Structure 1
Amino acid sequence: MKKNARLFYLLTVWTLFASLQTLAVPRFVTDENLPAPAPGISYVLSMPEPQTHYFEVEMQLKNSASATSARKNGYVDIKMPVWTPGSYLIREYAKNVEAFSASAAGKPVRSEKVRKNAWRVYSTDDNLTVKYRVYANELTVRTSLVDADHGYVTPASVFMYVEALKNQPHRVVVQPYKDWKKVATGLKTISGSPYTYEAADYDLLVDSPIEIGNHKTFSFTASGIPHTVAMFGDVTYDEKRLAADYTRVCETAASVVGEHPCTDYTFIVHHIPQGGGGLEHLNSTTLETYRTAYATEASYKGFFTLVAHEYFHLWNVKRIRPIALGPFDYDNENYTTMLWLSEGCTSFYEDYILRRAGFHSPEAYLGIVANDITQIENQPGSRVQSASESSWDAWIKGYRPNENSANTTISYYSKGSVLGTLLNLTILAGSNGARNMDDLMRLLYTEYYKKQKRGFTDAEFRQAAEQMAGRKLDDFFGTAVNSTNPIDYNSYFAPVGLQLTNVAGRTQDGFLGAGTTVQNGKVVISSVRRGSAAYTDGLNVGDEVLAVDSVRVGDDLLRLISGRRVGDKLDVLVNRAGLVRKLTITLTQNPLVSYRLEPVANRTDAQKALFNKWLYIK
């Protein structure tokens, strides 16, 4: 899932704080050898009244009894996934299902719901028909929507499955609303059958979103592979420029591993009023961006950062993957400690790809790296949660931030991006410039995806990284990945002749450490930084600040504390749950840093040469 996923997490956490201040590699079936037998399960997807936000699904099951325990037990269990790969949160898709019914030979058969996401059909017939409706009114890359304008399907949220039939081919017949003429998806089409698609198995079906409507499309070829871009939403863009820049980014991304595993690739792009993000799939991705994404150079580059992130996932995550990320258990969480690699190092590559593709100058790239370090070092949670812990706890913390998240967590996207930079530098330095992170990606791709046809364990990843670096990496894994201890950044940057410098000025201004929002003209505390004056002296999230030193606050707390010095005491009057309280708060030193990467004095020729290799300067 995508830099805007990282941005979403950071913005959520940083808004709380600063108000203070997607894998399915189903048995590694490749695009080139999809089987073509009659499907074990087929679906007819219709949307006769799109304005009501309902998809209607008719599901045909062949060999349902012989392929399951139905002969023995007299029933077949049909399930809806509770999550979708690439977005690590239980989403309870079954909550949107209604009107479930089953029949055999045209006659109704008994069914009942036996758990939150499972329906039991009591039949021993080999051929069953199941019908149900799905309410779809949430347009994100992880959910589904149908309305008067278009339909978008995240397959895990719409298509049910039978555990014992998951490995059989699955066919989808789309019946677009009468005024809609286009369907965009990475699924393979059935020749001579309009709007009919087939997946080798259920995993591949789940990994193939579907856009339905009258979207605009354009195409380009990158690395010899045809690419299609489906554009939904009212938006102004230069198609020729977009196609050229897509090509540049995609070919640069493909150069990392040096082999493109797809026969075709589809971008589904939703242009929406607000929000953004992306979700990766085996030969497609869905991107969400603002309608003004192409209006300025900054927003344009921001959009292609998202493109680079999700596109690089077709290698890292979809094929280069921790062993826990596929085949999937759709009923439960699928845990790994390596989302810092799968998502975070993809965030590293999104910027590295844009640097190599010419979107970022060397100076701009150094600014991005320094800013990434600044962000994680300014977050108190970086001293509480390690990158590996953040990865494991994605299911309960990463997608559910609250007002205290900045104090207790770190994003595996942001921390992982920094770790990718450090590992890249480590491999460069350890090999005297002969290898970099690309070589590690190629090794993992060749050994585990192609040769062993599986994911890798944590130990196997570490072994591969140490092989590329030419030394043991106890410092990197022990400190940077698996602990919350401070990282000696300059030891990583020294080989390329750089040092990390804190350029935040040390001032005498006192630091409160509380973020605020204005609600109906009232100043309300929205976040409190761990270790700050507000935290230590008892200011709470939810407090309405009434006065400071007997002066009414109005709607501007910062105005009243501006210019106060370190050590100054404030008498703060708050309304807490309807009771007025008086707190004495002693302002502290501002702990926030602002890093910049600067050349060390008297850089050697070896440092300069390695610097140029790192940043692809010729």
Structure 2
Amino acid sequence: MTIDYRIAPADLSGHYFDVTLTIAEPDPAGQVLWLPVWIPGSYLIREFARHIVALEAGNADGAALAVTKLDKHRWQLPPAAGPITVKYRVYAFDLSVRGAYLDETRGFFNGTAVFLAVAGQEARPCRVKLVAPKGKAQKPWRVATSLPADGAKAGEFGRYRAGSYDELIDHPVELGDFASDTFKACGVEHQIVIAGRHRADFKRLKRDLKKICEYQIRLFGEPAPFPRYVFMTMVTGDGYGGLEHRASTALMAARDDLPRAHDTELRPAYRQYLGLCSHEYFHSWNVKRIKPAAYAPYDLHRESYTRLLWAFEGITSYYDDLTLLRAGLIPVASYLELLSQTMTQVQRGAGRLKQTLEEASLDAWVKYYRQDENSPNALVSYYTKGALAAAALDLTIRLRSDGARSLDDVMRALWRRFGMNFEVHGQGVAEDEWERVASEAAGLDLADFFEQALRSTEALPLPELLGRFGIDSQLRPMAGGADKGGWKELAPGGAGNSLGARVAAEAGGVKLTHVLEGGAAHVAGLSAGDVLVALDGLRVNAGNLDAHLGSWPAGSRVVAHAFRRDELIERELMLTAAVADTWGLRTSTGADDAALARRRAWLGSA
């Protein structure tokens, strides 16, 4: 017996989906229904059930059944013979990749936000009927999803299927009059879907994504782990983000991040978008099929803790940009710029001195996904430092094995042991198993590396390792607020002074979004949220702040005026020279032949 769902865009201006759930064989003791409290890949309790605004149930005779709410995400029905029909309405106005959205121009949903699970019957196959909206303006709407069709024609409303509830909620659905095109990578069809106004050059996008997909498929070994794949992108003015699924990804991007027909170069914004696509695609192997044991299966009733997120998100973050290089989309200099920017992000947070990578992974639920004004002082990202740990691990394996092994071999070993047949054995990687598999695949004892990289706050030896691969490292002061990292030749004494805070433009001044421990703002008594309006009696704003800070010698004491809430405060600010917190990387002109050979083997280029 299948579990049957029907979902219809019911009130577009009110942002409501209507869902009907039919249970052929309900639990004789009384059926329990539940909705996930979080979505895999985004480690925060999101309470999707709060968006269910009405729910009713009835039996085969049409008689109403009492519905009792058990807790925040579960409902109890009384004993009744099947079939039982449950009807409910879901509010959908979350413009993100994690929930559900509906208006007159577009519909989108993840199953975790709209499909109630039937307790005890989660392993049963599911059928879903996608119903078209009734408005004339929505007549051109189509469907994009990686859900297998069950009678529906490609791209059309109709019936789809899934082998279980877990599979059902892992195929997001895009509805609307979107732009779409397809390409094949290693013989597998890939669909690109772009919703929202855009000027994307599909020809270039297809060509570039094909290179990314084919590189990653061949890295793990053909065939790809899915029969087809869908890249779904919602375009907005300034969006950014992604969420991985077993045969698709939901993305958000800024309109100008997409390639344009008149572009002659790969702009940094488009490079960032390709990196995002590369990241989510790599997850098809690393987290969707090679999983922590804590996610095999997912417990969607509560938090699921693991110390391995550094491996699943950090290693994926390492390969996302590396793929762009190895697939021939960016040159070595561009890749080193990206790597130096990641090093800079980690260097600029005092949290790297307080939280280990394992702790960062475990605390994702309460720290990384709940960041506040003190986060740079308190936590380290398992994405960014995890990516650096992955790079250091890759280089360490290559050096210690004299080039015979690399992190590529580790990932393939994990794939063969855990990912390739995950649908059959359902086995995840135990907390202490990842390191053991890595050492076995590399043929090395890596215990010392993991102890330092994962369970201490010591700095990773990445600059020293890079030097063995013919790459020079530079640690320098930040050259202005727009400096994200990269090699720069600075004039002596040209670094200027540092406020010791992260800032954002604010009407009438500059808002301090984060005050960094030990910096000038912290010492002076300024706080996150303060709006700095004047230094030494002169008005400041986002455009002239760097110039004002640089107009005095380091050590000068300057009167700062700021608003804290609606109260004007005055503080004495002692200006300090900008600290060396910015990394730059470049290929070394004096590298010996051995270093050059290592670099070519690693980066696939001189």
Matches of 1:317 and 1:341 in 2, distance apart?
Answer: 9
Could you list the per-position Cα deviations for residues 507-534 of structure 1 after superposition, in whole angstroms to 9, with x for gaps in the alignment?
3844331344454424443321111122
598 and 229 in structure 1: CA distance in 2 versus 1, 3 angstrom threshold: closer
Match of 2:259 in 1: 294
Structure 1 residues not aligned, in runs of 5+: 1-37
Deviation at 1:155, TM superposition (A): 0.8
8 Å Cα contact 2:401/2:444 also seen in 1: no
8 Å Cα contact 2:296/2:426 also seen in 1: no
Q: 1:264 aligns with which of 221, 228, 232?
A: 228
370 and 524 in structure 1: CA distance in 2 versus 1, 3 angstrom threshold: closer
Q: 1:124 aligns with which of 52, 72, 80?
A: 80
Please tell me whether residue 321 in structure 1 is matched to residue 291 in structure 2: yes
In structure 1, give the amino acid aligned to 2:162. Answer: A
Matches of 2:576 and 2:202 in 1, distance apart?
Answer: 53
Match of 1:83 in 2: 38
Deviation at 1:238, TM superposition (A): 3.0
- Matched position secondary structure for 2:368: coil
Matches of 2:475 and 2:427 in 1, distance apart?
Answer: 43
In structure 2, give the amino acid aligned to 1:79. Answer: W
438 and 124 in structure 1: CA distance in 2 versus 1, 3 angstrom threshold: same
In structure 2, give the amino acid aligned to 1:173. Answer: K
Could you list the per-position Cα deviations for residues 164-193 of structure 1 after superposition, in whole angstroms to 9, with x for gaps in the alignment?
011111111011113244211111111378
Matches of 1:366 and 1:577 in 2, distance apart?
Answer: 42
Could you list the per-position Cα deviations for residues 209-254 of structure 1 after superposition, in whole angstroms to 9, with x for gaps in the alignment?
0112232322211111122222222222333332222211110111
Please tell me whether residue 46 in structure 1 is matched to residue 8 in structure 2: yes
Matches of 2:428 and 2:339 in 1, distance apart?
Answer: 29
Could you list the per-position Cα deviations for residues 68-119 of structure 1 after superposition, in whole angstroms to 9, with x for gaps in the alignment?
xx42xxx222111111101111111111101100111111011121211111
8 Å Cα contact 1:337/1:392 also seen in 2: yes
8 Å Cα contact 1:523/1:553 also seen in 2: no
Alignment of 1:439-478 (within 5 A): 439-450=409-420, 453-478=426-451
Matches of 2:185 and 2:161 in 1, distance apart?
Answer: 25
Q: 1:190 aligns with which of 143, 150, 157?
A: 150
| Larger RCO, structure (CA 8 Å, separation 6 or more) | 1
Match of 2:539 in 1: 553
Higher mean C-alpha displacement, 344-353 vs 482-491: 482-491
Matches of 1:604 and 1:579 in 2, distance apart?
Answer: 62
Match of 1:202 in 2: 165
Could you list the per-position Cα deviations for residues 244-277 of structure 1 after superposition, in whole angstroms to 9, with x for gaps in the alignment?
2221111011111113111111222222222121
Deviation at 1:578, TM superposition (A): 5.6
Matches of 1:441 and 1:405 in 2, distance apart?
Answer: 31
8 Å Cα contact 1:378/1:592 also seen in 2: no
Deviation at 1:579, TM superposition (A): 5.4
Match of 1:607 in 2: 595
Alignment of 1:566-585 (within 5 A): 566-576=554-564, 581-585=569-573
358 and 269 in structure 1: CA distance in 2 versus 1, 3 angstrom threshold: same
- Matched position secondary structure for 1:336: coil
Match of 2:480 in 1: none
Structure 2 residues not aligned, in runs of 5+: 478-489
- Matched position secondary structure for 2:415: helix
8 Å Cα contact 1:426/1:469 also seen in 2: no
8 Å Cα contact 1:320/1:441 also seen in 2: no
8 Å Cα contact 2:178/2:196 also seen in 1: yes
Matches of 1:182 and 1:191 in 2, distance apart?
Answer: 15
Deviation at 1:409, TM superposition (A): 1.5
58 and 490 in structure 1: CA distance in 2 versus 1, 3 angstrom threshold: same
Deviation at 1:390, TM superposition (A): 1.7
Matches of 1:376 and 1:542 in 2, distance apart?
Answer: 23
TM-score (norm 1): 0.87
Higher mean C-alpha displacement, 334-343 vs 602-611: 602-611
In structure 1, give the amino acid aligned to 2:13. Answer: Q
Q: 1:304 aligns with which of 266, 269, 274?
A: 274
Deviation at 1:582, TM superposition (A): 4.1
Could you list the per-position Cα deviations for residues 13-51 of structure 1 after superposition, in whole angstroms to 9, with x for gaps in the alignment?
xxxxxxxxxxxxxxxxxxxxxxxxx41x11110113322
In structure 2, give the amino acid aligned to 1:264. Answer: R
In structure 1, give the amino acid aligned to 2:18. Answer: E
8 Å Cα contact 2:358/2:455 also seen in 1: yes
Deviation at 1:450, TM superposition (A): 3.5
Deviation at 1:459, TM superposition (A): 1.8
8 Å Cα contact 1:309/1:347 also seen in 2: yes
Could you list the per-position Cα deviations for residues 372-406 of structure 1 after superposition, in whole angstroms to 9, with x for gaps in the alignment?
11221122221122222222111122122211111
In structure 2, give the amino acid aligned to 1:287. Answer: L
8 Å Cα contact 1:424/1:436 also seen in 2: yes
Match of 1:512 in 2: 499
134 and 580 in structure 1: CA distance in 2 versus 1, 3 angstrom threshold: closer
Could you list the per-position Cα deviations for residues 464-496 of structure 1 after superposition, in whole angstroms to 9, with x for gaps in the alignment?
222233322234222222221122223322432
Matches of 2:603 and 2:540 in 1, distance apart?
Answer: 51
Match of 2:483 in 1: none
- Matched position secondary structure for 1:188: coil
Match of 1:3 in 2: none
Q: 1:418 aligns with which of 366, 384, 388?
A: 388
Match of 1:591 in 2: 579
8 Å Cα contact 2:333/2:586 also seen in 1: no
Could you list the per-position Cα deviations for residues 187-210 of structure 1 after superposition, in whole angstroms to 9, with x for gaps in the alignment?
111137861111110000110101
Deviation at 1:614, TM superposition (A): 0.4
8 Å Cα contact 1:510/1:568 also seen in 2: no
- Matched position secondary structure for 1:593: strand
Higher mean C-alpha displacement, 295-304 vs 407-416: 295-304
| Alignment: residue pair count | 572
Deviation at 1:557, TM superposition (A): 5.3
Match of 2:484 in 1: none
- Matched position secondary structure for 1:81: coil
Q: 1:173 aligns with which of 107, 111, 129?
A: 129
Match of 1:376 in 2: 346
Match of 1:540 in 2: 527
Match of 2:321 in 1: 351
110 and 467 in structure 1: CA distance in 2 versus 1, 3 angstrom threshold: same
Could you list the per-position Cα deviations for residues 106-148 of structure 1 after superposition, in whole angstroms to 9, with x for gaps in the alignment?
1101112121111111123232111100010122110111111
Please tell me whether residue 240 in structure 1 is matched to residue 228 in structure 2: no
263 and 542 in structure 1: CA distance in 2 versus 1, 3 angstrom threshold: closer
In structure 2, give the amino acid aligned to 1:271. Answer: V
Matches of 2:119 and 2:345 in 1, distance apart?
Answer: 43
Over the residues paired in the alignment, what is the CA RMSD in angstroms? 2.3
Match of 1:215 in 2: 178
In structure 2, give the amino acid aligned to 1:370. Answer: S
In structure 2, give the amino acid aligned to 1:167. Answer: A
8 Å Cα contact 2:418/2:427 also seen in 1: yes
In structure 2, give the amino acid aligned to 1:493. Answer: L
In structure 2, give the amino acid aligned to 1:423. Answer: L
- Matched position secondary structure for 1:189: coil
- Matched position secondary structure for 1:496: coil
- Matched position secondary structure for 2:468: helix
TM-score (norm 2): 0.89
Deviation at 1:283, TM superposition (A): 0.9
8 Å Cα contact 1:169/1:201 also seen in 2: yes
Matches of 1:354 and 1:369 in 2, distance apart?
Answer: 12
Matches of 1:231 and 1:527 in 2, distance apart?
Answer: 35
407 and 584 in structure 1: CA distance in 2 versus 1, 3 angstrom threshold: same
In structure 2, give the amino acid aligned to 1:446. Answer: R
Q: State the identity %.
A: 34
Matches of 1:381 and 1:177 in 2, distance apart?
Answer: 49
Match of 1:12 in 2: none
8 Å Cα contact 1:489/1:500 also seen in 2: no
8 Å Cα contact 2:503/2:511 also seen in 1: yes
Matches of 1:341 and 1:320 in 2, distance apart?
Answer: 11
Match of 2:248 in 1: 284
In structure 1, give the amino acid aligned to 2:399. Answer: A
